[in-house]
Amino acid sequence: MRQDGSAAWAAVMALAGRPGAAAIRARIEADPGRPAALTRRAAGLVADFSRTSLTAEVLDALLDLARAQGVLAFRDAMAAGAAVNDTEGRAALHLALRAPPGSFRTGDEDASADVQATLGAMRGFVAAVHDGRIRGATGETFTDVVNIGIGGSDLGPAMVTRALWRHGAPMRAHYLANVDAHAWEEIRPRLDPARTLVLVASKTFTTQETMANARLVKAWLDAALGAGSGAHLAALSTNLKATAAFGIAPDRVFGFRDWVGGRFSLWSAIGLSIALACGWDAFAGLHAGAREMDEHFLSAPEAGNLPLLLAATEIWHVNGLGYPTRAVLAYDERLSRLAAHFQQLEMESLGKRVTMEGAPVGRATGPVVFGEPGTNSQHSFFQLIHQGTTPVPVDFVLVARPDHAHAESHRILLANGLAQAKALAFGRTEAEARAEMQAAGMSAAEVDRLAPHRVFPGDRPSVTILLPALTPRALGALVALYEHKVACLGAFWGINPFDQFGVELGKVLAGRILPALEGSAAAPDAATAAMIAELRALWT
């Protein structure tokens, strides 16, 4: 699949080492046609790369690297159902989750047909809940759904529901992830047990945090409803024995296969809370947008392939220019959880230090991803992004048309997003800062004193992604874009983007430390023992 990419890597690094390789302002000022040349469109989205330091020569080198590293060959193997998750011997067929029957296979299995069967069962369940054929133990219709899960069983569905839920939607959704019971106590007073449907989302039905929360919530239902609490439960799991033992009827269990990774799973049964809260049409629209981006990814030429270009840009920033972080800034309050979902999607996938063959990678891999909605974030960490010592590339996500009638507010919002992208790219020179202060009537001494503080270095990269409106279809395309970017980056770096062994060690150790906290076993080391002693002293 991969060639010897050393020459291609060397070519990219040589370009990155040239004087002015990171320059952005000068390139924009010198070439009025740059925005048109560096804008790409796919699945209704518009992506503008002009405020990066990419050039035609750099793009050519990055695409040469993609070919040498077998990036699109990896894409094709993934789509063919090959075991691209080689450490676990599994396919990674999240594309099948939004495809018609017959589209994707893994071995002898029609993966898409299996998905459609589950989606059909989900659709029937959602319809029955919404029209009142499925009711609670006291005969009340369900008004609220609580999704109990963690990681991929929480972040994606919570983000989507926050983005797509509108007043008048079928149900209200609540997401319980943290094992800290304060999370449950914050949700509980807003719920009526007689009208609450609970989804327990755990493939194995053994996830420690999820099952602890499930027991809490079930005890609450039992106290209010007695033996009828089972009518309020459903599971997103494959462990039928464990779900039955928990009191969940088999026809209330919706499964998904091991070729669906958690952080790629919101399109599967894990998305049941989305369909219940926002309606089946919204869930179907989400799938349609993702499918449109899938088709683009699988067929678009390299130079116009948006997921590939987004990944190549990240290679340029992380490996070429040495930028170890990236901010995701959505200028839409409804996308307040977008950065959190992308953080898991990328950092859990790409935080790897060895190649697929088990050798040290030898170069930086996944950057730190963080973010908050604009304009709030402008009054938070933007100081560092504008004037800190290390540039932080930014993904700006803008939505052209709002769902409200407050046109002035939306124009202000968009003006801020565009202004931040311009400020990062262009900065403000000392001469410009001095001229502004002089025009404001400051004294020469004051200008001299403040000038260094008012310089913005500029040449700080950003990509702007524009959605026509925050519809299910547009959001589906956006999320699928980043999923495919992750697959491309895995291939660029020669790492497995579909396993996550890094989450396991802490879970194993927590299981060993819990008995020590309870006083029934010794702590595993001196530092832990000391802190347990402090805790136990405060409990007495």
Active centre residues (catalytic): 348, 379, 507
Side-chain-side CA neighbours of residue 530 (13 Å):
3
Instruction: Confirm if 187 and 146 have CB atoms less than 8 A apart.
Output: yes
Which of 277, 260, 201, 211 minimizes the C-alpha distance to 235? 201
Cα dihedral 472, 201, 485, 33 sign: positive
In this structure, what token pair is assigned to residue 418? 């565009």
- Residue 340's closest CA among 263, 236, 283, 284? 263
CA distance 37 to 51: 12
Sign of CA dihedral 103, 105, 110, 116: negative
Helices (H), ranges, 153-247: 155-164, 181-187, 208-225, 240-245
Tokens read off for 221:
């239902």
What does the buried/exposed string (b/e) look like for 368-394 if buried means 16 or more CB atoms within 10 Å of the residue's CB?
Answer: ebbbbbbbebbeebbeebbeeeebbbb
How many Å apart are CA 112 and CA 259, to the nearest integer?
Answer: 12
Residue in 39, 67, 45 with CA at minimum distance from that of residue 480: 45
- Please give the single-letter amino acid code of residue 329: L
Please give the radius of gyration of the chain, using alpha carbons only, rounded to the nearest integer: 25
Tokens representing 108 are 């002898």
Name the residue among 317, 25, 325 with its Cα closest to residue 309: 317
Q: Cα–Cα distance between 74 and 92 in angstroms, integer?
A: 11
